[in-house]
Chain A
């Protein structure tokens, strides 16, 4: 027994001594002078098929693959695989000129035919691109130009194409079921990096720079993406130097971890106003008394926004406005007022509606003389949102509105939300989510919309008409006017209220300069940073 234990101890000691150096040394590139960037993420990657794994699909969009256009840090649409484009006056013909010199990572040239094939492939094989079948009437290729003839004008087309990467026809043309495709060449794209390996047990991707990239070789020679199952381990890895920065598509870095990183003394932070809304409160407009505008106004007046900013988001944010989306959005309407916190006004509005406390138990009674007890639906897996919901419940109780908080997993949340089994619903609007449909968060509220966490709760005719007009209008003065009109209507009808506008923080290790912030693709890790980033001397 003693011998066995001694042998076991010996093996473990040898193992530790043998393997410790593997972790403590800096990951080496192919050469000593290689610039290696190590990124940490908590995303649950499962496969390197971009069609089958949502998170890998997003990662591939900024590494191995390219889209026609991208949104820069000023929210301008800028050329990428499309060097230029032309939109006809009636907004029904979009012509893209494909850049010269782009090629696939297996050496094949990237042509306008690949672009047309990709759009058709998404339309026919990818359920997420169902909108294409409704919008795109036909495609034609001439030389290095691809023309899209639309059934009807579609003002959001350019933004949509930012998220669909172009795939090689010679690889995918014989693949009928992209979700199940396991061929090794599935990772080949035209992007600035090529995938070298994915080790599931190690949770590690290794990418190397594409020397032949049409925009030139990226400034980073080798990219490592290390995954962690929890944020605490990732933050420790960042402090310890195992990774250089953090990546989460559309995510906000958890504010609670910032003090620890500041204490480490080797972390710098990039900041930008978050394009989405990290915590919002939606209303069930089919349910009394929430369907009454005055009641929704009373709720909006009862919420202590400053307290939410200070306590839940540690001051990294501002009190939101009534237009729902923050100032990062193009055509932001500054005339829409900031949401107000005024308990007395809230009480007054409720009193005027006849919702009063008659039995002296400090809770107001609703129909039938029973205490108001609003069902508040939220997601248990989003801890910040859960804390916000608890604070809002306390705020509402202060004005006499009773609530019951239902915190459930995401699938149950979706089912309950779509069945309208709530009075108030807490949700998170992602950056991309606020851009979809007619933009400025309208995709969440238009009653004809469904899916993607949307509330589809507002059916005011003028609102729906504005959405339709905005969808049919090409970028320009008229579109800007409609953008502002939508924000004003959000403040007027209150289908939902933002509870905070966040100042996002993106941490990275000292020694890196010139990061570019991308509002869509996750802070400092994006297609623009690859060409600006430098290693400090």
Chain B
């Protein structure tokens, strides 16, 4: 007997599954920082004071809610997820939400365009390389992008900093702005600071996207519908972009969804090289300082991004491939 599931029922099941995964991951986000060795108070008041503080230490622990039973801390954290009361960062000495938002904005400014530009560039060069496979164009494109892909991000970033900022002096040696500017000058200044880190991130991600798309387009190259389109006299480029690429896009959608998920943490090394005040830096510092509230909510944001990106990918699949509907 053939069972036909209703599309809305399928979406409901998927949504439920996503919610379950979300609950599981946010629980892990709570547990993992607390399983690491080291007491967060040590980083707040310094080791010298930590051992000499005596009763003051307990007062501080109480003030930060760290003396509460584990289960209470967990439910307080869960409550915070829904109410938006994310607590206080020991490291930044400001509300977690304020600390996170300050860095989240800079991450979005940098990584969002990088992922989009990389997907567009990778789709374009990957298709061209596949279409002209085993020609000089393919060799040049794939060879050079493979080289870029094989270079560690931070090394590529350091190279770009050295050549374009230090040697040629075209760009600043880091940070997101020069400071003391407003209006259009501020906007232009941000763009100027973005050029190098954005280029490095785009190049690294585009190189991977290129390889995915190339491989995908090559695999559909001999399909009947491609041959049919060609036999109808449609030009090569039209066949490639109208028929070939659309059907080969599914793997790129998956990769892009994963890259969106890594939006806030994956650019750490590039952030460090360019002194960019993004989420990667924030998370790294929070881990070093065992800043539980900051860590658990920073991880929460990443979790939401990963799940949202995957959910979005599911929807895009359905749009791209009628068989999925």
Contact = CB atoms under 8 A, between A and B. Distances in A.
Interface stretch (A46-54, A352-360, A483-491, A524-532): A46-54
A127 interface: yes
Given A15-B188, A130-B54, A240 B169 contact: yes
A52 B52 CA distance: 18
Contacts of A20: 170, 192
Interface in A1-52: 11-12, 14-16, 18-20, 22-24, 44, 46-47, 49, 52
Interface string B130-165: 000000000000000000000000000010011001
B49 A46 contact: no
A452 B102 contact: no
A229 B103 CA distance: 14
A199 B273 contact: no
A401 B27 CA distance: 45
Contacts, number: 177
Contact of B52 (A15, A236, A240, A450): A450
B224 to A, nearest CB: 29
A311 B272 CA distance: 27
Contacts of B88: 180
Contacts of A49: 93
B156 to A, nearest CB: 14
A450 B181 CA distance: 47
Nearest to B275: A229
A19 B185 contact: yes
Nearest to B184: A18
B271 A229 contact: yes
Interface in B178-206: 178-181, 184-185, 187-189, 191-192, 195
A228 interface: yes
Interface stretch (B37-45, B73-81, B225-233): B37-45
Contacts of A414: 38, 42, 47
Nearest to A126: B49
B48 A128 contact: yes
Given A16-B170, A18-B185, A232-B158, A451 B275 contact: no
A410 B289 CA distance: 9
Given A14-B188, A47-B92, A127-B56, A409 B106 contact: no
A53 B184 CA distance: 33
Contacts of A46: 91-93
A236 B192 CA distance: 18
A229 B49 CA distance: 27
B178 A130 contact: no
B175 A202 contact: yes
Nearest to A239: B166
Nearest to A54: B46
Contacts of B169: 24, 240
A87 interface: no
Contacts of A11: 191
Contacts of B93: 46-47, 49, 52-53, 179-180
Residue in B57, B162, B165, B289 with the greatest tally of chain A CB atoms within 10 Å: B165
Contact of A130 (B49, B91, B192, B289): B49
B219 to A, nearest CB: 26
Interface in A215-240: 226-230, 232-233, 236-237, 239-240
Contacts of A242: 173
A229 B275 CA distance: 5
Contacts of A416: 37
Contacts of A182: 94
Contacts of A415: 37-39
Nearest to A242: B173
B46 A229 contact: no
Contacts of B92: 46-47
B288 interface: yes
Given A201-B106, A229-B272, A15 B191 contact: yes
Nearest to B176: A201
B275 A203 contact: yes
20 contacts: A15-B192, A19-B178, A19-B189, A19-B192, A22-B181, A44-B285, A46-B91, A49-B93, A53-B93, A127-B52, A130-B49, A179-B93, A202-B178, A229-B273, A229-B276, A233-B174, A236-B166, A411-B36, A411-B42, A451-B52
Given A450-B47, A450-B50, 11 more contacts: A15-B191, A22-B185, A23-B178, A49-B93, A130-B53, A199-B180, A236-B166, A409-B287, A411-B36, A414-B38, A452-B47
